[in-house]
Structure 1
Amino acid sequence: MPITVSLTVNGKPASREVEPRTLLVELLRDHLGLTGTHVGCDTSQCGACVIHLNGRSVKSCAVLAVQAEGASVLTIEGLATPDGTLHPMQAAFREHHGLQCGFCTPGMVMSAVDLLKQNPRPSETEVRDWLEGNLCRCTGYQNIIKAVLACAEATAPAASAG
């Protein structure tokens, strides 16, 4: 029996009827047409499906759509400004060649944005640890790490003199 799920996606209200077993990633891709969130493994292992749910990065293949009732969801499509200006993390990935085939990129970017929200000046080790749940099949990790660190450097608040 279908259930109506109402939430805010990329700042806009959305409401759809879904089966109780529908995953959040399926709601986003199949019901709302937001295909930037990828399905890589369907078992919460690869991180291709990372989105922000109420401000925190989560693997949307591990969340039922009904669990997102009333929530705020941000997908990769919602990161850029309405005029198309890339989010600083997206720009850093482009500038530092933090993508190869691009399949893992949306999940990597969404995870990295959450990292910098929580830790604006991470070390390389902290970036690597944070992104441990995001897999890149092309093994582009070095440039991904460079991109995240470059974004952190460009966007972190200035350290106060002491």
Structure 2
Amino acid sequence: APIHDDFEKLKLADSLGFMVELLGADHPLVKQIMEGKTPEVRAAELIEGTKLKDVASRKQLAAGGTRAIEASTDPMIVLARTIDPKARELRKRYENEVTGVERANYSKIARARFETEGTRLYPDATFTLRLSYGAVKSYMENAMIGRRSSSLSFPIICRRVGWRRSPPWT
């Protein structure tokens, strides 16, 4: 797949800028990564200096396994190795303090939402099988036919035949 340097520089500069904004310019990790440069300048250095754009370089690195990655001096690999410990620490903290708490208290949250919102809210998608009895059929909504099921081809067909027509499959 082609790699577009200008686009990659923009994305990386945005991410680096967000890191500086979030952690502050005096944070040790920010100082280590930014090397006293602006996000735009540092992103340009990293993108222009990497060999990872070359497929052969990526294959060689992958073939070398963990040792090759640990020994690599490629600026993007060095960046990833620098960020990785802090990213893992933050991910673990998020899982323990946010998603873990949500998961443990999900039924309480759902109950509280139901008590405050009642039946105005659609039921939570809890990945449980939902069965209903009766005929499966289309329905009318806002003078349009609501489909009884969906498929990937539906948007293509709609572009071809138009939204307002009554499709023969309903």
**TM-score under structure 1 length normalisation:** 0.24
Structure 1 or 2: larger strand share? 1
Higher relative contact order (CA closer than 8 Å, sequence separation 6+) = 1
Radius of gyration: which is bigger?
2
TM normalised by structure 2 equals 0.23
Larger helix share, 1 or 2:
2
